Chain A
């Protein structure tokens, strides 16, 4: 049973974890909150940003703050599925006999950093699919469960596109959120210089273990959500579908495929985490609005017109939100109604 005490505990843990990460990461509060929200919601997070913004450091710091196993895989074009899933190797027993023994790959860790995920071939990228969705991998016909909690944090660089393999839609859909790491402001840059060019380095403490994370995940799923808030999330997701009768004009013109049902799940689960971190026991419309861009921007596939005109998915989602919000407000206006 969930209780307000557990909620308070969660809020404390969440805040503590953020404080630990912020010891090494300057600024990027939105990204840190997004990564933690994704982790507690039980999803995986894709970080996109130019090199040098601290994406990898963020993930490493998070892993240090949690009492969980961590593995880092640098994705390269010659990386093979067996390199991350593991493989059967021949071992010799004391009696002199030989047999195959499964050697687990780096995917068998609680937190996996898939650095520059778009540099690996689609074959290797796809090897992550089963692990991310089913929390299990199949090697040599044997399905092997991954440790729980299992959390993949992937990074990709949006500008160096030569020699990369853009993630397929099926792979992208497995990520709960796609967070865009922005360049730090001047004050933040100064703070980064102060911290990284001095001899003293802040020590990160472990503030949470695996079972605690899993407990919080159960707690999060109990958070109530009103039907009109759920409807709002559904309408936002449907608003990204050009075939939907009430889709806004921008969607009809520029979108080929809209967000999948996983997008709606991401909105609601993320909203529940955000509600608890805000000290609320219910999901609000504002939660859905805040999380719409990170949850949907990688799930909206633009058509040729959208690509050629350089339509920003965030701008598109903002217009969808605006349209759905206007409709909701109009129908909920009791005096005019």
Chain B
């Protein structure tokens, strides 16, 4: 039983039919496009398919169109959907949809009856018109392209070999073949380089050159600016460079029973320089991508630097490397190189330990530390940084064992002054602005000066940001003490 008036029923049927027609149209456009694309693909392979290609392409085009139209028309349109569409198209202010919804209710108010009557009257008064706009999809707007391409291909002679038109990256077999060729070429190249390295024996060449007092000729990988250890040649290091030298120095400073070795700059450490060189040569490449040539360069640099630290750093460090290179195993060669780097690091550590503290009182200094000079007298005879504890003299201990004075107050280093009575207050002659010009400055003031200098230095110098806090913490701890 139909609950709503015939006019509404008729309208809904009309809308439904119209919507399905439009959907069929839209589906046909889309189907034709994709059918056209398939037809183009068939016509491209006309040479292989033969005379059947053109009929097959036409059939695909027709089938696509038909399938799209059928698919579009097969979708049902609900009455509420149709009612809302009619309301919008006929500007009925949702009368049809509301009527449809309320007409089916068992209890209808007079207002609902009035609504139904009003809607029916308006519908009957409206002239028949199209309610659903034609919507041409994007595929319909570009349908001409596959059609034109298909016509052109149909008229043109068959293409010689469709396989050649397929991009190389589409063919899995071709890719595999190309990879195999490349791998073979690389293996051959590596083997040849390894043989060449073994023949040349660069260590022998270099040793001979050094023994003759000549500077060995620089290799391509040598970078004098990078590897020259200028810090070692400096007569003295200023505070700025001290600050710049990074966390290694700070770690040493943190150890209260040792003095900093200002001469050894972590930033210019050979190990670090070698690591940089390694990174530079590797350039972020994976082990397999590192060429044997670069590996050879790296090896030579490592060997040269190792020998610079320790004369005994010899070929045994690289045994694994040569074996691996001989076999063409880049991975193993890299691993051997890392081991050699570890050994270099140990050498560097031992060397640094040996240089670190030669502080303390030396026998020739003891005579100067008589009664008229109090503990903490400044010793400026030695070069700064070479185990010198300012005011504390040199130590005969090669390991740099600190003196008792230093052990008790390690942070008084650099302060020349005198103790007043039993109060551990030191007047210094350090330069600085005080109330009395050129007068002694309390050691606490020195710390403040150092802190200001530190702030200037880290702002001026290129100190890594990560080290800023560590440096500040260190100076803060000085003040707290």
Contacts and interface: CB of A to CB of B under 8 A. Distances in A.
Partners in one complex: yes
A156 to B, nearest CB: 34
A282 B109 contact: no
Contacts of A335: 19, 22-23, 26, 132-133, 135
* Interface size class of chain A, counting residues whose CB lies under 8 Å from the partner chain: 20 to 34
B85 A332 contact: yes
A195 B258 CA distance: 100
A332 B84 contact: yes
Interface string B67-84: 000000000010011101
Given A283-B94, A284-B93, A7 B114 contact: yes
Contacts of A284: 93-95
A334 B19 contact: yes
Contacts of A312: none
Contact of B85 (A4, A219, A286, A334): A334
Contact of A334 (B77, B95, B109): B77
Interface residues of B, number: 29
A224 B102 contact: yes
A219 B114 CA distance: 13
In this complex, the member of A4, A227, A282 whose beta carbon has the largest number of chain B beta carbons within 10 angstroms is A282
B287 to A, nearest CB: 48
Interface of A: 1-4, 7, 219, 222-229, 280-286, 332, 334-337
Given A226-B94, A228-B97, A283-B94, A334 B132 contact: yes
A337 B76 CA distance: 11
Contacts of A286: 93
A223 B135 CA distance: 36
Contact of B115 (A227, A228, A282): A282
B183 interface: no
A226 B19 contact: no
B94 A281 contact: no
Contact of B118 (A223, A228, A281): A281
- Which 9 pairs, one residue from A and one from B, show the smallest C-beta to C-beta distance? A281-B115, A282-B98, A284-B93, A226-B98, A4-B114, A284-B94, A3-B110, A334-B19, A226-B97
Given A1-B110, A286-B93, A335-B23, A228 B84 contact: yes
A7 B111 contact: yes
B23 A224 contact: no
A241 to B, nearest CB: 25
Nearest to A282: B98
A281 B95 CA distance: 8
B17 to A, nearest CB: 12
Given A332-B85, A335-B132, A222 B109 contact: yes
Interface in B132-152: 132-133, 135
Contacts of B19: 334-335
B26 A229 contact: no
B305 interface: no
Given A219-B111, A335-B22, A335-B132, 18 more contacts: A1-B110, A2-B109, A7-B111, A222-B109, A224-B98, A224-B109, A224-B112, A226-B94, A229-B97, A280-B95, A281-B111, A281-B114, A281-B118, A284-B94, A285-B94, A332-B81, A334-B82, A334-B85
B101 interface: yes
Contacts of B101: 224, 226-227
A223 B111 contact: yes
Nearest to A281: B115
Contact of B94 (A4, A282, A334, A337): A282
Given A332-B81, A332-B84, A336-B135, A1 B94 contact: no
A22 B338 CA distance: 95
A224 B280 CA distance: 79
B103 to A, nearest CB: 10
B111 A2 contact: yes
24 contacts: A3-B111, A3-B114, A7-B114, A222-B111, A224-B98, A225-B98, A226-B102, A228-B80, A228-B84, A229-B94, A229-B97, A280-B93, A281-B111, A281-B115, A282-B115, A285-B93, A332-B84, A332-B85, A334-B19, A334-B81, A334-B82, A335-B22, A335-B133, A336-B135
A1 B109 contact: yes
Nearest to B99: A282
A282 B93 CA distance: 8
A3 B102 CA distance: 16
Contacts of B84: 228, 332
A336 B133 CA distance: 11
Contacts of A227: 101
A285 B96 CA distance: 13
Given A7-B114, A282-B93, A334-B82, A229 B109 contact: no
A222 B102 CA distance: 12
A224 B23 CA distance: 32
Nearest to B25: A335
Interface in B257-286: none
